[in-house]
A and B are shown apart, each in its own frame.
Chain A
Amino acid sequence: MITLILYSLLALSLIGLISAVILYFVSQKFKVIEDPKIDEITELLPAANCGGCGYAGCRNFAEAIVRQGNLDNIHCPVGGNSLVKLIAPILGIEAQESEPQVAVIRCNGSKENAPSKAIYDSVQTCSFAHALFAGENGCPNGCLGCGDCVVSCKFDAMYMDETTGLPVIITDNCVACGACVKACPRNIIELRNKGKKDRRIYVDCINKEKGAVALKNCTVTCIGCGKCVKVCPFDAITLINNLAYIDDEKCKLCRKCAPVCPTGAIIEIGFPPRKENVETASNEEKA
């Protein structure tokens, strides 16, 4: 009995020893030399693997940074500027700040503004509804309200407002990874600069139809009248295909465009309430 145990012990230790020697030489032969910076940077990343940077995951992002050696044209939207400050010393470069961004939903076709004219009772998926029909309210460009964007958000930054039937973005949670932008079949969601003190002005509509046609479906649509373009002192607004667009790089948040919009399609976010005299002042200026 004892000898049996002894033999098996010996045999097993011998196998173990031989394998160890083989493994040692194999590991020497096939050694992969990896930049230790990659590990260092991966440690710092958010580890959300959201794909917002354009790479498959955080590790791939770290590899790409180390390969490139600098932070040009490569950015982790989740980590933002604070992350850049941490990564830059590892790479031995100076940190450059970029403007933080946030997703905005460019449709205000709520149940009140754009009442339903049809009932959709199939699969609650925007991509399918988009392929099938124009939408319950009839607007061929507006929000379908099935919530593909909400499903795509990995940061709990979106929810569906039951009363309006539109998705809402929780700005504090939004990291501008762009998942919702890709999920929306109608390209309604856009990443815009967060703006000073979280203040933003944008056209809350992407309808390219002619004004008279668009108004039949929705009361807050952009009708392409061009009043905002005329009033903008910074040439920040362009009008293409009956649709105004405010360039967030050029916009100085002067708030002159919003009061002239006849349908209220231009939305101001984060500003203090407008005083009476401001409105009259802008009207005088226009005259």
Chain B
Amino acid sequence: MKTFTLGGIHPKGNKLSAQAPIEIFPIPEKVYIMVTQHLGAPSTVIVNKGDRVKVGTLVAKADAFICANVHSSVSGIVEKIDEINDASGYRKSTIIIKVENDEWEENIDRSTNLNRECKLNSKEIVQRIKDSGIVGLGGATFPTHVKYMVPEGKKADFLIINGVECEPYLTSDHAIMLEKAEEIMIGIEILMKALGSKKAMIGIEKNKPDAIKKMQEIASKYNKIEIYPLKVKYPQGAEKQLIKALTGREVPSGKLPIEVGCVVNNIGTALAVYEAVQKNKPLIERVVTVSGKSVKKPSNLRVRIGTPCQLLIDHAGGIPEDTGKIISGGPMMGKALRSPEMPVTKGTSGILLMTEKESKREASSMCIRCAKCVNACPMGLEPYLLQMYVESLRFEDAENHKIMDCIECGSCQYTCPANRELLDYIRVGKSKVGAMMRSRTRK
């Protein structure tokens, strides 16, 4: 069984909601659609206060290269365009829509029948993906169409689909694979057509045997798609680690996967592509896992983008008393929310309610030079060294020791017996070194 070679850790899976089917979450009274839900340049709002919108109406337009369209996820009236707190507490531009009925744009096919045939050519598919505002649904929210604009002279041999879901607790991809396997396969075929690649590989960790079985069953009908069960190891769902695990190829430092002939997409993205291309449905909803050790009903919910997280938590039984942190995303890479009123965005893969005990940080002490972090780092970096460089403001040295290669998976901090805040410092260093490099290119 395959896996990546360098580093990695084994956190407890805690997949509490693995057996929960996907529930359709009711449409809320009001949705808060953030204008910038992706990685890259901000989009431009094209609706005004008082405008009437339908499900699927374009509300914010992408006008830069790395940028994504945003669509209304409900029908109703634009109440206002205001700034609301995002997860960090900084205020971000948001479109607030008051819901009235559930009217969809006419060109969206709402039927559930499978539509296998795709008549569009490669360019048209990429354009459709771009128009539908699809971004990577694994959590990084990188605009998908950009990955499919393969630079000249490069060829994508493999399309790699990420069904690993290595983050503990999260089960949204797992649930999708169980319920929408057929659609995912068609989505993958469409993506392969757009890319012109000959083979698609789906990596699934073996802690999801039911998903592997179901996917293998369906993939047997498609001769170009293969399922690879993988050993359980974090962070296998990271792009570069998954490529290494499946193909044995290594992405060079500072380069993109296309350098080694691979394009990586998430399971959820493949499903979104199927819906966008075959059903004309833009990215207006996603599956969110609501979980946590003391949550009454851990569940997988299909939610309209812009629904306040509070409603989802209420649905799962409310905020338990011993909650210490509410996290958007997984426990390893997710971000703590300031308040549960924050809306669901395209990148919200899960909402975790961590207990006081789980979320408390132990006091950190001196580095004891055990090198556990070096062994755990999947990128082959030396986290203890980078941390010390950043602490003593030696950013040039940090750059020379490849601080920018860090994927911020948090394995080093997880494994540190002295509870040192390794990743925290490395993140500071990355932002400083990044700024340094940008100012150099400007000169």
Contacts and interface: CB of A to CB of B under 8 A. Distances in A.
Interface of A: 117-118, 121-123, 125, 127-128, 131-135, 138, 140, 209, 213
B428 A127 contact: yes
A140 B89 contact: yes
Contacts of B421: 122-123
B228 interface: no
Contacts of A127: 428, 432
A282 B163 CA distance: 71
Contacts, number: 44
Contacts of B338: 117-118, 133-134, 138
Given A122-B421, A123-B421, A128 B88 contact: no
Contact of A134 (B90, B360, B361, B432): B90
B104 interface: no
A123 to B, nearest CB: 5
Interface centre among B87, B339, B421, by most chain A C-beta atoms within 10 angstroms, is B421
A148 to B, nearest CB: 11
B424 A122 contact: yes
B361 A131 contact: no
B425 A123 contact: yes
Given A117-B338, A133-B338, A125 B428 contact: yes
A133 B88 contact: yes
Please name the 3 residue pairs, one residue from A and one from B, whose CB atoms are nearest each other, closest first: A134-B89, A133-B88, A128-B428
Given A122-B424, A128-B427, A138-B338, 14 more contacts: A118-B338, A121-B360, A121-B361, A123-B421, A125-B428, A128-B424, A131-B427, A133-B87, A134-B88, A134-B338, A135-B89, A140-B89, A140-B90, A209-B91
A138 B83 CA distance: 14
12 contacts: A117-B338, A122-B424, A127-B428, A127-B432, A128-B427, A133-B87, A133-B88, A134-B90, A134-B338, A135-B89, A140-B91, A213-B83
A23 B339 CA distance: 74
Interface string B348-374: 000000000000110000000000000
B93 interface: no
B152 to A, nearest CB: 36
A222 B430 CA distance: 34
B115 interface: no
A122 B432 CA distance: 18
B387 to A, nearest CB: 10
B122 interface: no
Interface in B409-443: 421, 424-425, 427-428, 431-432
How many of chain B's residues touch chain A, expressed as a range? Answer: 10 to 19
Contacts of B339: 117
A132 B338 CA distance: 11
A134 B424 contact: no
Contacts of A123: 421, 424-425, 428
A131 B431 contact: yes
B302 to A, nearest CB: 29
A98 to B, nearest CB: 31
B85 interface: yes
Contacts of B85: 134, 138
A134 B339 CA distance: 12
A16 B193 CA distance: 83
Contacts of B361: 121-122
Interface in B236-285: none
A154 B109 CA distance: 68
Interface string B75-89: 000000001010111
Nearest to A209: B91
B428 A133 contact: no
A138 B427 CA distance: 22
A99 to B, nearest CB: 32
A229 to B, nearest CB: 25
B89 A138 contact: yes
A121 to B, nearest CB: 5
A274 to B, nearest CB: 37
Interface in B302-353: 338-339
Contact of B88 (A121, A125, A132): A132
A125 B424 CA distance: 10
A125 B88 CA distance: 16
A121 B361 CA distance: 7
